[in-house]
Amino acid sequence: MLLDATFRCCYCGGEIETAVDPSAGRRQTYTEDCQVCCRPNVLHIVLEREGNGLVALIDAEPESDLE
């Protein structure tokens, strides 16, 4: 079951909806493009228990250029 979550794009500030897969672990990091400006955000996700379910806490940061 996927969790619905949102994060704020670190480039344009848009509020972006995403889905988080709890089976990938309690702490996750991956890159997702903004649905508004198309720039890559590195998402740091922590899953925490809330009541009988889980909530995804997301911190977004810019993807660093390694060029």
In a domain, 67, yes or no: no
What is the pTM assigned to this prediction? 0.88
Q: Show the domain range for 9.
A: 3-62
40/16 Cα distance (integer angstroms): 12
Counted domains in the chain: 1
pLDDT at position 41: 97
Q: Does 28 map to a domain? A: yes
User: Which of the four pLDDT bands, split at 50, 70 and 90, describes residue 64?
Assistant: confident
How many CB atoms are closer than 10 A to CB 17?
Answer: 9
Give every CB contact of residue 50 below 8 A, 6+ residues apart in sequence. Answer: none
What is the pLDDT, as a whole number, of residue 24? 97
Handedness of CA 6, 14, 9, 59 (dihedral sign): negative
Per-residue pLDDT tens over the stretch 44-57: 999 999 999 999 99
Q: How far apart are CA 51 and CA 4, in angstroms?
A: 16
Predicted confidence (pLDDT) per residue in 1-38, tens digit = 899 999 999 999 999 999 999 999 999 999 999 999 99
